[in-house]
């Protein structure tokens, strides 16, 4: 076996999956073992490179994770909640790092990852960019410094293909704001406003979602108080930055004990 960590990419045919495959191929620190797609997908059984419209790469697309994961040290997974939960069991069996960028997971679904985390390192984050994770820390600090005279609104924009709202990143920012204020986000979350909703409740943390065009990802955290506003902003212009963060997480976790981690751990921003 090569001394380089073997990587499996889940959701190979998607935009993020193909970006991750290209990023692994361009890296001199890891190797592509194989890729995963859902049963019945026309990529299954084909060489990854040929399926992407290029030259053969010597790595196949599988619809069963067991075979490629037996040869891998990590799987990078930007898929769907149920697929992620199923894949966590295989990663645990293989004792392979499971890097999860899947968004739209409920608290109950996230809890289903815990058994796997007893046997492998799981790195899960709603966003894997350095800038966003710095924004998370800043949001927590500003929320802690301001009282409830400042309304907090998380405003996010993404491309029109995105299926979940608010985005995973927006929820990360909302959690950071709630933590800064010492409250439970579930109890103060204000989202999906429509019609006669009544006045905003003091202390609530609001969410607004925009969907359109090919927006990669934009996130504002607005602190609106009497006579002044503070806006913290991050704008992503290239989804390659998410792939770069995911690869960094896969390498970082190679020597880590089983457990659940996030990008603040990877980037050394905890504390």
Identified catalytic residue from 158, 219, 234, 248: 158
Q: What is the pLDDT of residue 103?
A: 87
pLDDT band at 241 (very low <50, low <70, confident <90, very high): very high
Q: Mean pLDDT throughout 199-222?
A: 97
CA pair distance 203, 120, nearest whole angstrom: 39
Q: What is the pLDDT of residue 104?
A: 86
Q: Tell me the per-residue pLDDT of 130-173, one tens digit each, with 9 for 90 and over.
A: 899 999 999 999 999 999 999 999 999 999 999 999 998 999 99
Q: Tell me the per-residue pLDDT of 156-165, one tens digit each, with 9 for 90 and over.
A: 999 999 999 9
Q: What is the pLDDT of residue 2?
A: 54
Max intra-chain CA distance, the chain: 63
Q: What is the pLDDT of residue 114?
A: 98
Domains of the chain by range and CATH?
Answer: 6-124+239-266 (3.40.50.720), 130-236 (3.30.360.10)
Kindly report the average pLDDT of the chain as a whole number. Answer: 95
Known catalytic membership, residue 158: yes
Q: What is the pLDDT of residue 269?
A: 83
Q: Tell me the per-residue pLDDT of 27-72, one tens digit each, with 9 for 90 and over.
A: 999 999 999 999 999 999 999 999 999 999 999 999 999 999 999 9
Q: What is the pLDDT of residue 1?
A: 45
Q: What is the pLDDT of residue 192?
A: 82
Q: What is the pLDDT of residue 271?
A: 61
Contact in structure between 71 and 82 (CB atoms under 8 Å): no
Identified catalytic residue from 41, 89, 162, 256: 162
pLDDT band at 126 (very low <50, low <70, confident <90, very high): confident
pLDDT band at 3 (very low <50, low <70, confident <90, very high): confident
């Amino acid at each position: 076996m090569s001394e380089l960590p073997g990587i499996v990419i889940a959701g190979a045919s998607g935009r993020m999956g193909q970006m991750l495959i290209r990023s692994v191929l361009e890296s001199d620190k890891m190797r592509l073992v194989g890729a995963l797609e859902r049963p019945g997908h026309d990529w299954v059984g084909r060489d990854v490179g040929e399926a992407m419209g290029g030259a053969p790469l010597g790595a196949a697309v599988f619809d069963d994770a067991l075979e490629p994961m037996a040869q891998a040290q990590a799987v990078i997974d930007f898929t769907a909640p149920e697929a992620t939960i199923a894949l966590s069991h295989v990663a645990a069996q293989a004792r392979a790092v499971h890097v999860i960028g899947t968004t739209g997971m409920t608290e109950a679904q996230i809890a289903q990852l815990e058994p796997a985390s007893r046997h492998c390192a799981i790195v899960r984050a709603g966003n894997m960019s350095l800038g966003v994770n710095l924004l998370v820390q800043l949001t927590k600090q500003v929320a802690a410094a301001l009282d409830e005279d400042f309304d907090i609104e998380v405003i996010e924009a993404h491309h029109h293909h995105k299926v979940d709202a608010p985005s995973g990143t927006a929820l990360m920012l909302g959690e950071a704001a709630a933590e800064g204020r010492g409250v439970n986000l579930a109890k103060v979350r204000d989202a999906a406003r429509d019609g006669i909703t009544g006045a905003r409740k003091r202390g609530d943390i609001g969410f607004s979602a925009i969907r359109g065009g090919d927006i990669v990802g934009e996130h504002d955290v607005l602190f609106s108080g009497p006579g002044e506003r503070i806006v913290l902003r991050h704008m992503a212009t290239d989804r390659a930055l998410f792939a770069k963060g995911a690869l960094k997480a896969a390498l970082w976790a190679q020597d880590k004990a089983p457990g659940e981690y996030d990008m603040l751990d990877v980037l050394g921003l905890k504390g």
